[in-house]
C-alpha cells in the first residue's frame, strides 16, 4: 500500500487541476485517522495504556526506518556506522543507530546547498509541484539559523500538535487568544495561529511581537477585544503586566484571563510560574517544542511534568558525554525520532536540549504519555569556566530569588589578564525593577546565591529595567542568555 502522505498520493483536485492546492494536497481522512484532532485525541490515544502506545510507536518506527533507508542522508550516516537494514528489528534496537546534531545538518547543507541531502528528494522543484511547502528556520540562539523545510504533513502537524496541547490545557471554542509573536521564519506564531483558527474554534489575535505592536497597544487590544487566553514567552508576559500597570494604570488581572500557554524554561522551583500566575490571576502552562518537531510536550492541568507527544514522536535521554541512555530520572540530552516527518525526516536527532523523564506512571489526568521535566537549558550553550561547566539557564533560580529583580539576566563570558596570565571570567548581568527602591545588598546576595548554585564565583552587574532588552532579545522570540566574548570562542565561530 502506498503512503497516503507522500507527494502525488493525495486525491486529485476538483476540476482536474494539477496545482498543489493545500486543501487537496493531502488525504485528510488518513491523516486524522493517524493523528486524531484535539477532542478525539484527548479521549482516545492520550488515554491509551503504555503497552498499547509502545506497540504503536514500534509500528511507526519501522515504517520510518523504511523511509530512512531511501534517504541519502541516512544511508550515508548509517553506512559510516556499519549499520545494515537487518540490524534494526524494532524500537528496542534504536540505540544501535547513530545520533546526529544540528552541526551535522549545517554541514550537510553546506556540502549540498541549499537544503542538503536530508530532504530526500533529488529535485526540490519537483517536490514543490506536488506539495505545498514552507521554509522555516531554527531560532539561531546558538549560532546561524538552520533551514528546515515543512511539507504539508509537517506543517499541518505544527498546528495540530499545538491545538492538542491547548485543548488539554482548557482552551475551548469561543475563546479569544492573543498571540504577541511575529509570523516569521520561526514556527511559534504560525503554529498557535493555525491551532486556534484551524482546529479549536478560537479567535486568534496575531498582534506580533512588541516590536510590531507596542506593549501598550497590545494591552489595549486585549481589553477592547475581550481576550481571555494568551500565548507568549514569560519575559514578554512580565513586560505586558508592567506596561498595563505603568502606561494604562490597570492591573493585568482585570483581563480575567482563562489561561496562559508559555515556555517556562528551567523553572524547577516554580518561582517564575508563581510570579506570572500572581500577576495575571490565571493558570500558566509550560510547553516544549522545536523547529523540527513542532509541539513536542505540554503540561496538563495537573502540572506534574510535560506530557511527551508519544503518538507522533519518540524521545530518549542520553548522557551528554557518552551518548548512552541515562538512568531513569537523570538529566541528559533529549534525542527525538519524529514519526510524522516525510520531508527532512528525523531519526535520532540530538537536540542538545537538556531534559529528564520525571515519570512513566499514568497521570491523574488519565494519560499514560510519559512526562518530562521543564526544559533545563542547552548542553551546547554550556560555558566551561575555570574547570567548571556552567549552564546559563542555571542562573534562573538565583536571579529570581529576590523580588527586586525583573527576573531577566544575561551571562557574559570573557577573558582578562591577571599578573600577565589570561583568566576566564563570567559576569551575570541582572535587571532591577524600576520600583525596587534600594539596591543595597542585592549584588552581594546574587553573587552568593549564584556561587552556591553554579559552584563557581562569578561577577554580578546590576542594570536598570529595560537595559537588557536588546542584548538578550527580550520580547522577540527566545531570550539569549549567553554573550560569548572569549577570543578562542570568537576565532572558532
Quick: pLDDT tens for 128-179: 888 899 999 876 655 577 889 999 999 999 999 999 999 999 999 999 999 9
Q: Which pLDDT value is given to residue 87?
A: 96
Q: Domains in the chain, please, with CATH? A: 37-296+359-367 (3.40.50.12780), 382-492 (3.30.300.30)
| Average pLDDT per block of 10 residues along the chain, 493 residues long | 64 77 92 98 98 98 96 96 96 98 91 90 82 85 77 96 99 98 91 98 94 94 98 92 95 98 89 94 97 96 98 97 94 97 96 95 98 89 78 87 91 85 89 92 95 91 89 70 78 50
State the DSSP string of 116-183: -STT--S-HHHHHTTS--EEEE---TTSS--EEEE-HHHHHHHHHHHHHHHHHHT--TT-EEE--S--
Alpha-carbon distance values, 15 to 5, 8, 25, 127 (Å)? 22, 17, 14, 22
Q: How many CB atoms lie within 10 A of CB 374?
A: 26
Long-range contact set of residues 119-123: C-beta below 8 Å, sequence gap at least 24: 119/149, 119/343, 119/344, 120/67, 120/70, 120/71, 120/72, 120/73, 120/343, 120/344, 120/345, 121/343
User: According to DSSP H, which parts of 305-360 are helical?
Assistant: none
d(CA 370, CA 8): 36
Residue 216: phi and psi, rounded to 5, are -60, -45
Report the largest interatomic distance among the alpha carbons of the chain, rounded to a whole angstrom: 81
Residue 21: phi and psi, rounded to 5, are -75, 130
Per-position b or e across 90-119, b if 16+ CB within 10 A of its CB: ebeebeebbbbbbebbbebbeeeeebbbbb
Strand partners, 290: 294
Q: How many CB atoms lie within 10 A of CB 23?
A: 9
DSSP run (H or E) holding 313: strand 313-318
CA dihedral 395, 400, 402, 405 (to 10 degrees): 100
d(CA 443, CA 127): 57
Q: Which of 133, 393, 109, 141 is nearest to 290 (CA)?
A: 141
Query: What's the DSSP call for residue 99?
Result: P
d(CA 82, CA 75): 10
> Which residues does 20 contact at the CB level (< 8 Å), separation at least 6?
128, 129, 130, 131, 132
Strand partners, 295: 289
- Rounded to two decimals, what is the model's pTM? 0.85
Per-position b or e across 445-460, b if 16+ CB within 10 A of its CB: bbbebbeebbeeebeb
Q: How many CB atoms lie within 10 A of CB 55?
A: 13
Residue 349: phi and psi, rounded to 5, are -85, 115
Q: Is 423 exposed, middle or buried (0-12, 13-18, 19+ CB in 10 A)?
A: exposed
Q: 281's torsion region: left (phi>0), alpha (psi -120 to 50) or beta?
A: left
DSSP run (H or E) holding 330: none
Helix orientation angle between 50-69 and 72-80, rounded to the nearest 10 degrees: 100
The cell numbers describing 231, all together, are 500565548
d(CA 193, CA 198): 8
Alpha-carbon distance values, 320 to 34, 222, 306, 325 (Å)? 33, 43, 21, 10
Amino acid at each position: 500500500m502506498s503512503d497516503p502522505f507522500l507527494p502525488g498520493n493525495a486525491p486529485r483536485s476538483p476540476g482536474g487541476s494539477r496545482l498543489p492546492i493545500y486543501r487537496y494536497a493531502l488525504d485528510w481522512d488518513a491523516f486524522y485517522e493517524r493523528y486524531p484532532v484535539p477532542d478525539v485525541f484527548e479521549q482516545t490515544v492520550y488515554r491509551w495504556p503504555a503497552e498499547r502506545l509502545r506497540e504503536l510507536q514500534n509500528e511507526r518506527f519501522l515504517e520510518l526506518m523504511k523511509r530512512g533507508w531511501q534517504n541519502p542522508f541516512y544511508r550515508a550516516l548509517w553506512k559510516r556506522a556499519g549499520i545494515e537494514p537487518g540490524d534494526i528489528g524494532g524500537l528496542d534496537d534504536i540505540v544501535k543507530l547513530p545520533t546526529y546534531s544540528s552541526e551535522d545538518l549545517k554541514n550537510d547543507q553546506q556540502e549540498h546547498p541549499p537544503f542538503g541531502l536530508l530532504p530526500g528528494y533529488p529535485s526540490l522543484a519537483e517536490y514543490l509541484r506536488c506539495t505545498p511547502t514552507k521554509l522555516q528556520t531554527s531560532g539561531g540562539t546558538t549560532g546561524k539559523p538552520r533551514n528546515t523545510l515543512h511539507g504539508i504533513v509537517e506543517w499541518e502537524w505544527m498546528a495540530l500538535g499545538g491545538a492538542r496541547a491547548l485543548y488539554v490545557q482548557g482552551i475551548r471554542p469561543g475563546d479569544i487568544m492573543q498571540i504577541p509573536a511575529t509570523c516569521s521564519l520561526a514556527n511559534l506564531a504560525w503554529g498557535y495561529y493555525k491551532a486556534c483558527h484551524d482546529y479549536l474554534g478560537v479567535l486568534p489575535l496575531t498582534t506580533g511581537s512588541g516590536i510590531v505592536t507596542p506593549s501598550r497597544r497590545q494591552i489595549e487590544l486585549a481589553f477592547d477585544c475581550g481576550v481571555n487566553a494568551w500565548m507568549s514567552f514569560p519575559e514578554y508576559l512580565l513586560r505586558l503586566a508592567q506596561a498595563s500597570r505603568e502606561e494604562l494604570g490597570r492591573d493585568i488581572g482585570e483581563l480575567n484571563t482563562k489561561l496562559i500557554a508559555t515556555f517556562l524554561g528551567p523553572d524547577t522551583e516554580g518561582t517564575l510560574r508563581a510570579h506570572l500566575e500572581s500577576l495575571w490571576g490565571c493558570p500558566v502552562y509550560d510547553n516544549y517544542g522545536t523547529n523540527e518537531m513542532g509541539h513536542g510536550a505540554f503540561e496538563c492541568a495537573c502540572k506534574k511534568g510535560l506530557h511527551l507527544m508519544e503518538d507522533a514522536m519518540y524521545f530518549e535521554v542520553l548522557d551528554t558525554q557518552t551518548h548512552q541512555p541515562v538512568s531513569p530520572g537523570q538529566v541528559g540530552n533529549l534525542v527525538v525520532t519524529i514519526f510524522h516527518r516525510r520531508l527532512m525526516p528525523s531519526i535520532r536527532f540530538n537536540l542538545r536540549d537538556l531534559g529528564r523523564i520525571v515519570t512513566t506512571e499514568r497521570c491523574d489526568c488519565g494519560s499514560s504519555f510519559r512526562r518530562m521535566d521543564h526544559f533545563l537549558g542547552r548542553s551546547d550553550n554550556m560555558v566551561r569556566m575555570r574547570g567548571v561547566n556552567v549552564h546559563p539557564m542555571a542562573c534562573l533560580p538565583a536571579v529570581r530569588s529576590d523580588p527586586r529583580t525583573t527576573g531577566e539576566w544575561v551571562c557574559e563570558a570573557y577573558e582578562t589578564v591577571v599578573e600577565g596570565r589570561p583568566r576566564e571570567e563570567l559576569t551575570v548581568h541582572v535587571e532591577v525593577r524600576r520600583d525596587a527602591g534600594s539596591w543595597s545588598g542585592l549584588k552581594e546576595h546574587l553573587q552568593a546565591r549564584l556561587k552556591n548554585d553554579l559552584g563557581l564565583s562569578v561577577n554580578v552587574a546590576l542594570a536598570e529595567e529595560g537595559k537588557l532588552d536588546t542584548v538578550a532579545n527580550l520580547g522577540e522570540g527566545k531570550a539569549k542568555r549567553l554573550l560569548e566574548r572569549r577570543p578562542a570562542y570568537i576565532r572558532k565561530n
